[in-house]
Amino acid sequence: MSKNHIELGQELGIFVIPNESGSGLPLFKPNGFIIREELMKLMREVNTKAGYQEVWTPHLFKIDLWKISGHLKKYKDRMFIVGKGNERYALKPMNCPGHCLLYKSEIRSYRDLPIRFSEFGTVYRNEQSGELLGLLRVRSITQDDGHVFLREDQIEEEVNSLLKNAIEILSLFSLKDFKIKLSTRPDQYIGSIRLWDRATKALKNCLDRNKLEYEIKEKEGAFYGPKIDIDAKDSLGRYWQCTTIQLDFNLPRRFKLTYISSDGKPEVPVMIHRAILGSLERFIGIMLEHYQGKLPFWCAPEQVRVLPISEKFIDYAKQVKEKLSQFRVALDDSNATLDKKIFNATKAKVPYIVIVGKKEMESKTITVRERDGKQLSDIKIEEFLEILKRKAALRD
């Protein structure tokens, strides 16, 4: 019987949501921190190849910023607003206004575009208590966020690249069955219908030219622009929304963003909002249920556990652990029986269990039990190390 991510998160020491911290505000334990870091490492590699520059913006801004962006009018019920004296601030529900300010901080030329900013920015949304669910719906959301500022003639190439990257990355997690959705102008929106129509047509053209099947979700776009969402099917047959690609003609105008065109005149850029994993919290929840806690080797918090058969072989077990130390390896030197140690490592869903005893110590080898039950006997440590290196390199 499958377990939900809350049960798995507790069993594997991934996260907790104590009453004292507040609903929807998860705390990640060391094991959860490792998973988050591995996901960010993956996305940093992807972003670097795609030409993104990583930035950082504060967790809150003056209320005036959210008036300019339109969030205060269209999104106020979901915002946390604070103040002291005459000053009012809001915790950011989205990173895009900060990225607009970064773009605006310099004079831009048409030759500079596209300009791509990425940020693992934590945003805060006042989701209703009845909507909160473990990591799948939270109030503190760390996005693998990115914003692209570009010319209108660059939209198709950029969106094509984003679609390709998204499918490749989701496939790393054995998520290969997708539903693509195009969401159109909602009832509450900013900007002119003319700009909305241009943006929607641009996204539709990208999907049509790539011959991708998609469904249209009427009135489900963001308040500032239409979007493409990619839902991925997990091992239990459920679809999860992961990637979002949103096309925005409106925020650049509200922030008075420009670039100098080839004829020397100021032009307004187009803005793409994109997140491939969606949010780290939600994606980790999806991963836990999709893999039922048996995470891939490259992002497993504990990758290898070394088990000496008895205390006589602890010194050799320590030598083995040291030789494997470039990976996340632990040593069980407790007084428990070997069967109990194997049970504990299996329960912790460790990908590789290394067993050492008299035979292994004398031959300077190890016995390896894989998580799926396969066993490798009398294998040299160096040979096993090469296997691990290949799996890590391929993110297998």
Among the listed residues 92, 108, 137, 145, the single catalytic one is 145
Residue 154 known to be catalytic: no
- For residue 137, the model assigns a pLDDT of 94
The catalytic residue among 96, 100, 206, 242 is 96
Query: pTM higher than 0.85, yes or no?
Result: yes
Which tens digit of pLDDT belongs to each residue from 340-358? 999 999 999 999 999 999 9
| Catalytic residue of the set 147, 274, 290, 349 | 147
99 annotated active-site: no
Burial of 223-243, coded b for 16+ CB within 10 Å and e otherwise, reads bbbbbbbbbbebeeeeebebb
**Residue-wise pLDDT tens digits, 212-233:** 899 999 998 888 889 999 999 9
- Read off the pLDDT of residues 105-124 as tens digits, 9 standing for 90 and up: 999 999 999 999 999 999 99
The answer, yes or no, to whether residue 172 has pLDDT greater than 90, is yes
Mean pLDDT of the chain: 94
99, 108, 116, 125: the catalytic one is 125
What is the third-level CATH fold of 5-290?
Answer: BirA Bifunctional Protein; domain 2 (3.30.930)
- For residue 227, give the 3-state DSSP assignment: strand
- CATH 3.30.930.10 occupies which residues in the chain? 5-290
Q: b or e along 12-42 (b: 16 or more beta carbons within 10 Å of the residue's beta carbon)? A: bebbebeeeeeebebebbebbebbbebbbeb
Catalytic site includes residue 125: yes
User: Which residue type does 97 have?
Assistant: P
Q: What homologous superfamily does CATH list for 297-394?
A: Anticodon-binding domain (3.40.50.800)
- Is 145 part of the annotated catalytic residue set? yes
What's the Cα-to-Cα distance from 352 to each of 33, 110, 303, rounded to whole Å? 21, 52, 6
Let me know how long the chain is.
396
Q: Residue 188: which pLDDT band, with cuts at 50, 70 and 90? A: confident
Confidence check: pLDDT of 86 > 90: no
Q: Is the peptide bond between 252 and the residue preceding it cis, with omega within 30 degrees of 0?
A: no
The residues, any chain, with a CB within 8 Å of residue 130's CB and separated by 6 or more, are none
Full DSSP string of 78-119 = G--EEEETTEEEEE-S-SHHHHHHHHHTS--BGGG-SEEEEE
pLDDT in tens, 62-74: 999 999 999 998 8
List, by residue range, all CATH 3.40.50.800 domains of the chain.
297-394
Task: Compute φ and ψ for 357, nearest 5 degrees.
Answer: -145, -155
Active site residue 227: yes
Whether the per-residue pLDDT at 176 is higher than 90: the answer is no
Catalytic residue among 116, 143, 282, 305: 143
DSSP labels for 297-350?
GGG-SS-EEEEESSGGGHHHHHHHHHHTTTS-EEE--SSS-HHHHHHHHHHTT-
β-strands 87-91, 81-84: how paired?
antiparallel
CA gap 81, 92 in Å, rounded: 9
Which region, left, alpha or beta, applies to residue 211 given φ > 0 means left and ψ of -120 to 50 means alpha? left
| 294-333 residue pLDDT tens | 999 999 999 999 999 999 999 999 999 999 999 999 999 9
- Supply the pLDDT for residue 53: 98
